[in-house]
Chains A and B, each alone.
Chain A
Amino acid sequence: DARVTQTPRHKVTEMGQEVTMRCQPILGHNTVFWYRQTMMQGLELLAYFRNRAPLDDSGMPKDRFSAEMPDATLATLKIQPSEPRDSAVYFCASGLALTGLGGELFFGEGSRLTVL
């Protein structure tokens, strides 16, 4: 049963600490997306990758957030330093996109981050 796996599921940290969230996309998928969900803003697109190359990270605060795909089985989202306003649920999603067309996305269960 193929699924997107995210770790950790829950994280509580102090302001100023580094946070790393990990995602294992579904094998064979060529796109990976990071979204952040809050009550106020809904689902915000932070960054996405195609064939491991970052295509767009304009939704991400550049000074503190970074997203990478060190290999096809791992995507990471790092926040350094973390701030209380970063508290949210972070979702990773993967999909198989034809050239120029997006397709169905498969979401992980999310990483719930609380920054005190």
Chain B
Amino acid sequence: SQQGEEDPQALSIQEGENATMNCSYKTSINNLQWYRQNSGRGLVHLILIRSNEREKHSGRLRVTLDTSKKSSSLLITASRAADTASYFCATDVTGSEKLVFGKGTKLTVNP
């Protein structure tokens, strides 16, 4: 069963614009992670935010976590065509080492 739900399912923007993707989840978590998947490839880890953190940055990525609302957002600033991919949130459920993924947001960045 899915733990995380990404929103929107698909997003199309122009190069240089910012892209924001949201993730909602259902149960208590240890941490939340974001991954990227290029078409036909495996997933690549982008960033991990722990349940006691509220915001984290990595290069052009900014992740926020609101545990009271059970939600997270991923912001990609100054997007590039090479950012075109699917982005998934994954939750590490408290009491378990399982990493459960949402269905992803498909991002298209047009040159």
Tell me the A residues contacting B by CB distance below 8 Å: 4, 31, 33, 35, 42-43, 45, 48, 50, 55-56, 91, 93, 97, 100-110
Contacts and interface: CB of A to CB of B under 8 A. Distances in A.
Given A91-B43, A102-B31, A110-B42, A42 B97 contact: no
21 contacts: A42-B2, A42-B101, A42-B102, A42-B103, A43-B101, A43-B103, A45-B100, A56-B98, A97-B97, A100-B30, A100-B95, A101-B30, A102-B97, A102-B98, A102-B99, A104-B45, A104-B48, A105-B35, A105-B43, A105-B45, A106-B45
A52 to B, nearest CB: 14
Contacts of B33: 104-105
B98 A48 contact: yes
Given A43-B88, A91-B43, A106-B45, A35 B31 contact: no
A71 B45 CA distance: 26
Query: Contact size class for B?
Result: 20 to 34
A41 to B, nearest CB: 8
Interface of B: 2, 30-31, 33, 35, 41-45, 48, 88, 90, 92, 95-104
A12 B35 CA distance: 28
Contacts of A48: 97-98
A107 B30 contact: no
